[in-house]
Structure 1
């Protein structure tokens, strides 16, 4: 059983918990994903099953799209709604125009300091492990790209006395949305945190096409789930396809270099497929015309 699942992660469980449930539902041990979602987040989780795990590295760097709630005036230790409140400021004067005026500062290529509560490793340990022990270390800023940042709503929470801003973000892999929310709050002079997060797209995988865990589990109990799977060939359809004969197929299976006729540029990744249309591997053009 091999393929890709476009799964809708619910709010609550960790991404690891979701993977465990997928393993149990379909009876396959080799299951992984292409990018973690925090427990409080929901949305698209791209799951690689069986042999499809070998193409996960080619899906990890995909562009991502999110919908987030930015709560202004309240800063937390984790930059999200689950962290301890560390400061409260009067944000009642913040207007839609105020927010719109700072958003351009966070579009394009920007530098972002990763949060302590993250999976980044430092001296062999995850930052979130250090954070649990109240240890904070220096993090170098990282360049990320925000190709779209727009305000989708602006409401005032009467109970807490704070504005809540709806945001839509299209960004590069490695962007921390809670850090973006915190930084926008700081730019407005009142602080802020991410109140909610939905990942609506990972590359070509959109939330409207995803299946829920409940759908997967109930279908697995009553029948075949393979119709939910996206083939490796289709998952990588953005890559050009090179078709090879059976003789070359044997070479690819042994990890040997092959010589082909192609106009594809040096360094480009390609899908290598058999004459029968079977996906064989991902390859790289090393030297065109030689």
Structure 2
């Protein structure tokens, strides 16, 4: 049943730690591709890098890389890239809410920069690295990438397979289980009166008053906090309602 909430997690904000190498560009915008150009980047300093970061924060346009899963003519771009094809891609708007430098060193005469990025879903960090290098006039590519957070799921809360196996052997895996309600904690809670719980579980709307925007997705809960459904706020005439999309309790 928990798989039914996956679609509400895909669009969550994401956080990454990346390594950017300046002074070279590659075919794939990362270290796996072939180097297609190089430039002297010895003059690049941490200060000069700082000066251009504002250009890459907020809402920006990104062109999806050829190694992405975006479709073109019914095929994934990475499939076309395997055939050495390059096609036109329309830029897409993404949001980068945080872009900071975590380290700055030189390796083999090239600046290697640690970046921390908080961004919207659909942001390509390899493209961000390449675009930063281009803005500095020396090119750049992503040398390493770790996704550290998706929504409220942080890598610091993760466990090893060995820990989980040990817990399973001892019969106590509940300590690692997150409820569906908590997994969707990025969605606001909409509490309904108990008299409407049965109606919502059967797919009917419930009256609702809130400052949330029309169309907002919410967790529908009972007065006691029991998670009932994921729903959407709708307006009919002058009245507002909660319309359940996916119900997670048995129909009464």
- TM-score category (smaller protein): 0.7 to 0.9
Matched, 1:116 2:66: yes
Match among 100, 104, 107 for residue 50 of structure 2: 100
Q: What stretches of structure 2 of length at least 5 have no aligned partner?
A: 240-252
SS in 2 for 1:285: strand
Partner of 2:206: 259
**TM-score normalised over the length of structure 2:** 0.85
Match among 174, 179, 198 for residue 127 of structure 2: 179
CA drift of 1:205 comes to 1.8
Match among 52, 64, 73 for residue 2 of structure 2: 52
Runs of 4+ aligned structure 1 residues displaced above 6 Å come to none
User: Within 1, Cα distance between the matches of 2:224 and 2:54?
Assistant: 50
Matched, 1:211 2:211: no
SS in 1 for 2:94: strand
Q: What stretches of structure 1 of length at least 5 have no aligned partner?
A: 1-50
Structure 1 residues 218, 114: CA separation in 2 closer, same or farther (over 3 Å shift)? farther
Match among 175, 189, 192 for residue 240 of structure 1: 189
Matched, 1:136 2:86: yes
CA drift of 1:132 comes to 1.4
Structure 1 residues 264, 210: CA separation in 2 closer, same or farther (over 3 Å shift)? same
Match among 173, 176, 185 for residue 228 of structure 1: 176
User: Within 1, Cα distance between the matches of 2:202 and 2:83?
Assistant: 47
**TM-score normalised over the length of structure 1:** 0.75
SS in 2 for 1:284: strand
Partner of 1:40: none
Bigger Rg over Cα: 2
User: Within 2, Cα distance between the matches of 1:96 and 1:59?
Assistant: 35
Matches within 5 A, 1:56-205: 56-157=6-107, 160-205=108-153
Q: How many residues are aligned here?
A: 236
Root mean square deviation, CA, Å: 2.0
Q: For residues 99-144 of structure 1, give each alpha carbon's deviation from its aligned partner in whole angstroms, at most 9, with x where no partner exists.
A: 1121111111110001011111222221111111212211100011
Structure number with higher relative contact order (C-alpha < 8 Å, ≥ 6 residues apart): 1
SS in 2 for 1:233: helix
Partner of 1:37: none
Structure 1 residues 125, 228: CA separation in 2 closer, same or farther (over 3 Å shift)? same
